[in-house]
A and B are shown apart, each in its own frame.
Chain A
């Protein structure tokens, strides 16, 4: 027997009994919230043409393979591209807004570290078309309800807007290499690093100061008016902040203010996100539980210009968080009625009869009590 028959490939996961039951319960709770907001389930294909998943961040993480006809296929590394394709293709005649959700595995080449596995179970939704601010606020509110429903304690939805950073970049007219270095330093909230990247670039002191403030400005919603002052030097950033504020105000009036934080240094996935971005954090878990944002250009790639916003929760991370917070009340397996099968025909007949009445039974089968 070769080692491969017993060895587990790095990143592969297997859930048994209690673990599997907990995951099903979490999934049911989240899906019931999605359904409650009238989102419709989509079960997309496990694989599609690799081009569907194009995009810098995912390209290097995609498991791709060649089909018999020579075309390049890929196992889904995310759901959003697939839902965009379906919304623009099979559902093209459906009037916007479309409210769609999914729950299932994605597969990625990912070094196993800090809560990342190669097989991830994602539960998420996409809101395509409709009024953008209303859709943004709705999606964040749904994320909050999911965590409430699951009983997560102390969670924070950190809201940002990529337009603040890209507005500043546009105003500064920076070269692309510098933008990437700057983005990376802003993402790390490293003001010293931001200063260093901007050294030698002809950027006004007001803009340089504004870039640095991206790393420090943030906190509760009270940070937003302050940010409006700091970024008043730049129309693009100001417009982005106004959008963010409209969404945050709506959420606050819905009583969700206590879960909100402002994070203007949230600048991941700039090739993808176009507006609001948010991440969900909680004490007791060192990495985000889920994330989301607005992506207004993705669906147009598939032939239907449709602005959209979505979010997803990672089932593995939700389960880990709830376990650490002691929120996974163990649900014991229901006990089964034993049915003796000393004489197989009679035993099986009895078992079938009891099953017809809905009982949980365990058929005696040698060796068992």
Chain B
């Protein structure tokens, strides 16, 4: 029986493909819109990035590639044996450029984010009141329109922030792509999982 790997259809896809090919592992060749694809002795699931940890936690996929940001946000109970080194980015607090950022001055800071859990924890752990407005995307426009005081979002280069008159004020978390493994698969399919981990480790050096 072959291992099932969950991959994100989003920004980590290109890096995942490059890594699997470098490791000499099978990878599907342009199967169009098919979401479950067999390649060699592996089976691939292409899903939304926030869903990768879920497929692995339930054991529907034995392994997956997910951003640390996503792992922190979903809190999935999975193993994380490898930092794959690509997809580096940071989750930050950004507030309107030129305006003072002072969450301690207000009883409640309103924060717009896709990362509702991370955003809430960031403020609450510092003893600051917070109201999180959960958005699915285009978070950068929330402050300009008066929906929120600041945003918590992921940045790679910072260009999108600057284009929307936002400035990074605090780092919430550092992120990169991780290989994640289901707890049961790790033991019950040890040889196959260890083989995959070893190949990916070698290729991600």
Contact = CB atoms under 8 A, between A and B. Distances in A.
Contacts of B81: 189-191, 215-216
Interface in A265-301: 281-283, 285-288
Contacts of A287: 57-59, 183-184
A305 interface: no
B78 interface: yes
Contacts of A190: 79-81, 83, 178
B189 interface: yes
Interface in B1-21: 1
A340 to B, nearest CB: 51
Contacts of B187: 156, 158, 261, 263, 281
Contacts of A154: 188
Interface in B174-198: 178, 181-190, 194
9 contacts: A114-B58, A155-B188, A215-B81, A219-B190, A281-B188, A282-B184, A283-B189, A286-B60, A287-B57
Contacts of A156: 187-188, 190
B57 to A, nearest CB: 5
B22 to A, nearest CB: 19
Nearest to B81: A189
B73 interface: no
A14 interface: no
A249 to B, nearest CB: 20
Contacts of B77: 114
A219 B57 contact: no
Contacts of A189: 79-81, 181, 186
Contact of B182 (A216, A263, A286): A286
Contact of A282 (B78, B82, B188): B188
B183 A281 contact: yes
Nearest to A155: B188
A5 interface: no
Contacts of B83: 190, 192
Interface of B: 1, 56-60, 77-83, 178, 181-190, 194
Interface in A182-221: 188-193, 215-216, 219
Contacts of A158: 187
A189 B194 CA distance: 13
B78 A188 contact: yes
B121 to A, nearest CB: 14
A135 B59 CA distance: 32
A327 to B, nearest CB: 15
A285 B188 CA distance: 9
Contacts of B186: 189
A286 B80 contact: no
A243 B63 CA distance: 33
A114 B57 contact: yes
Contacts of A286: 56-60, 182-185
A114 to B, nearest CB: 5
Contacts of A188: 78-80
Given A156-B188, A189-B80, A219 B194 contact: yes
Given A261-B187, A282-B188, A286-B183, 5 more contacts: A154-B188, A192-B82, A285-B184, A286-B182, A288-B184
A188 B59 CA distance: 15
A286 B77 CA distance: 11
Contacts of A263: 187
A216 B181 CA distance: 13
Contacts of B185: 283, 286
Contacts of A285: 59, 184
Of listed A154, A283, A286, residue having the most chain B CB within 10 A: A286
A191 B56 CA distance: 19
A286 B61 CA distance: 9
A93 to B, nearest CB: 42
A261 B185 CA distance: 13
Nearest to A282: B188
Nearest to B83: A192
The 4 closest A-B pairs by CB, nearest first: A286-B59, A192-B83, A190-B80, A281-B184
Contacts of A193: 80
Nearest to A287: B184
Contacts of A219: 190, 194
Nearest to A215: B81
A361 to B, nearest CB: 45
Contact of A288 (B79, B178, B183, B190): B183
A89 B80 CA distance: 44
Contacts of B183: 281, 286-288
Contacts of A155: 188
A263 B185 CA distance: 13
Given A114-B58, A288-B184, A261 B190 contact: yes
Nearest to A115: B58
A263 B190 CA distance: 12
